[in-house]
Amino acid sequence: MRRMVVLLSTALLLAGCGGTTKNNSGGDSGGGQTQTTANPNAATAKDLKITFLPKQVNNPYFTVAQGGAEKAATALGEQLKATGPSDADASSQVTYINTAAQQGQNALLLAANDSNAVAPALKAARKQGMKVVTFDSDAAADARDVFINQASSQEIAAGQVKLISDAIGGSGEIAILSATANATNQNTWIDIMKKELAKPEYAKIKLDEIAYGNDDDETSFQKTQGLLQAHPNLKGIISPTTVGVAAAARYLDSSSYKGKVALTGLGTPNQMRKFIQDGTVGSVALWDPAQLGELATYAAVALASGQITGKQGEKFKAGELGEYTIGDKGEVVLGPPLTFTKDNVDKYNF
């Protein structure tokens, strides 16, 4: 009997939730209407509530990006808060997107773990007026307003191939150590790298394998070890992810391959400084993630203020970064990546 009571009351509770229909939701539909025309002269809205949602929390790269976002938010007089999952699972960001919508946030800055898994939640949030700016890793194009791309994919990927080619003297076997297999940006770069490698100037370079370290330090470390075991003639590794390249550098540094196998990738100066200075790694490239977060915030505020709508050709100002123009498919490119070598690595601190 008592069990029945429990069951029944649970059922009632569920029904109660269901019965709380749309009347109750009026309050959280807040936000502005989706504007169709941009007004570049509109005043910049103050006190906007902005959520910063990285791929995962406690990831040094995103912590730096968050710093940039906070800087821009402070400069503009907005409220920015960071939140996010502790793992980079496809689904783990959805709860946080729904929550931001429920809290009536005006804008969301998102680095998507899976471009499609987040799309339905983003669409629902945008319907109630939240502006969505993706940065670092894009969501499905119809689920966000603007995508802030760190550098053009072509520049990044071609640059990585050039760096490894220089490091191995233009011939030999190489491998790629990527992040997660579904990371939109990684896969775009890898595709372009393959096309680059097909060019005559790289004819003597052979791509042996693409390994995935899941943006996890330990996994990336083990995958590096695996790559070197599986391919005894390996001469170079490209790891276009800050987690991967740091783990690979640590492995090389502690192994007999040090100095024999070249490594390049996308790495932060602070993480890679030691390895660049002791010669384990010749060079790495990266944009400034702080600027990435900063630009994303300026774009979000311009969207929420009605200065831009995300259409190609619209322009917005981004403080010290200057003026940016929205490109094809709502994409904004931060700028060409920087290359860090022994000569300049000490000039940067992030």
Partner 1 sequence: MKGLLRWESVLFVLLALVAVVGSAATGGSFLTGRGAFNVGSDLAVMALIAMPLTLVIVAAEIDLSVASVLGLSSALIGALWNAGWPLEAILPFVIVVGAVCGAINGFLVTKLGLPSLAVTIGSLALYRGLAFVVLGDQAVADFPESYTQFGTNPVPGTWIPYPILLFAVLAVVFGLLLHATTFGRAVFAIGANEEAARFSGIRVKRIKFILFVLTGAVAALAGIVYTLRFASARADNGTGLELEVVTAVLLGGVSIFGGRGTIGGVILAALVLGGLTDALILDDIATEVVKLVTGILLLASVFAPAVTKRLTRGTP
37 binds partner 1 per the rule CB under 8 A:
no
2 binds partner 1 per the rule CB under 8 A:
yes
CA dist., res. 168 & res. 8, Å (int) = 71
Shortest separation between residue 205's beta carbon and partner 1, angstroms: 24
Q: Is 252 left (phi over 0), alpha (psi -120 to 50) or beta?
A: alpha
Shortest separation between residue 154's beta carbon and partner 1, angstroms: 23
Strands 234-239 and 262-265: parallel
SS3 22: helix
Alpha helices in 128-183 (DSSP H): 153-167
Question: Are 264 and 236 in contact, with CB atoms under 8 Å apart?
Answer: yes
In the complex with partner 1, the residue whose CB is nearer, 94 or 161, is: 94
CA dist., res. 46 & res. 102, Å (int) = 21
CA dist., res. 123 & res. 2, Å (int) = 43
114 binds partner 1 per the rule CB under 8 A:
yes
For 251, residues 6+ apart whose C-beta sits below 8 A from its C-beta are 221, 224, 225, 228
232 binds partner 1 per the rule CB under 8 A:
no
Scanning 113-121, 305-313, 321-329, 339-347 for contacts with partner 1 by CB under 8 A, the matching segment is 113-121
102 binds partner 1 per the rule CB under 8 A:
yes
207 binds partner 1 per the rule CB under 8 A:
no
Strands (E), 77-228: 79-82, 107-110, 131-135, 146-149, 172-178, 205-212
Scanning 3-11, 233-241, 248-256, 257-265 for contacts with partner 1 by CB under 8 A, the matching segment is 3-11
Write the interaction track for partner 1 spanning residues 121-160; mark x where CB under 8 A is met and - where it is not.
x--x------------------------------------
90 binds partner 1 per the rule CB under 8 A:
yes
* Member of 63, 79, 153, 182 binding partner 1 (CB under 8 A): 182
Residues forming contacts to partner 1 in the complex (CB under 8 A) are 2-3, 6-7, 9-11, 13-14, 17-22, 24-25, 27-28, 57, 81, 83-87, 89-91, 94-96, 98-99, 101-104, 114-117, 119-121, 124, 181-182, 212
